[in-house]
Amino acid sequence: MQSNLRNATLVLNPQTGLMQGARQSLCQNRDERPPRRQASLIVLHAISLPPGQFGGDAIEDLFHGRLNHAAHPYFQRLAKLRVSAHFLVRRAGELVQFVSVLERAWHAGKSEFRGQPDCNDYSVGIELEGDEATEFTDRQYNQVCAAIDALRAGLPTLRRAPVVGHSDIAPGRKWDPGQTFDWARLAAGLARAAERQQ
């Protein structure tokens, strides 16, 4: 059952990399960041499973490696995929954490940012439940702004971290978070959050 956490206060614990106010669903699809690599980039994604359908447990099951590949024809192509993200923002605004931000989640794949390859090594991945055709919800924008604000407040290496889309670090290979994502709205929300901090 999904809870509505849009009014919850999010606080990142810098010792554990876990977000207070997020539902914890820690998965095994993760590993250690390479030596001397710390989170310094935030990557936004979009995901729906099956494509174009929202709700259900499929996304969480995918990240935990327990997706029933016989449940839908599309799932068969994911049979050998081992992926995860640090966070998922559901349509109703629930924030779910799968990997500590001190560890490496497997969300970016082959990627590069400002000449640095392998973005998984130094990024935090946030999935938004969505697709290429559907507008994201007000609660998702509120929650992703709150999550980014908490990440920046909680870890010094993320304080000025750029926020980019998967399509920015894997152009031509990935489309998300897609044309329906309102980057100006995100920027305005983050600016308001920064003003409250001053």
The catalytic residue among 32, 60, 103, 127 is: 127
Between CA 149 and CA 103 the distance in angstroms is 19
Query: Quick check: is 127 catalytic?
Result: yes
Read off φ and ψ for residue 110, nearest 5 degrees.
Answer: -65, 120
Please spell the DSSP secondary structure of the chain, one letter per residue.
-----TTSPPEE-TTT--EETSEE---SSEEEPPTT----EEEEEEE-SSTT--SSSHHHHHHHT---TTSSGGGGGGTT-----SEEE-TT--EEE-S-TTEEES---S-EETTEE-GGGGEEEEEEE--SSSPPPHHHHHHHHHHHHHHHHH-GGGTT--EEEHHHHSTTT--TT-TTS-HHHHHHHHHHHHHHH-
Neighbours of 189 (CB within 10 A): 18
Tell me which residues are annotated as active site: 127
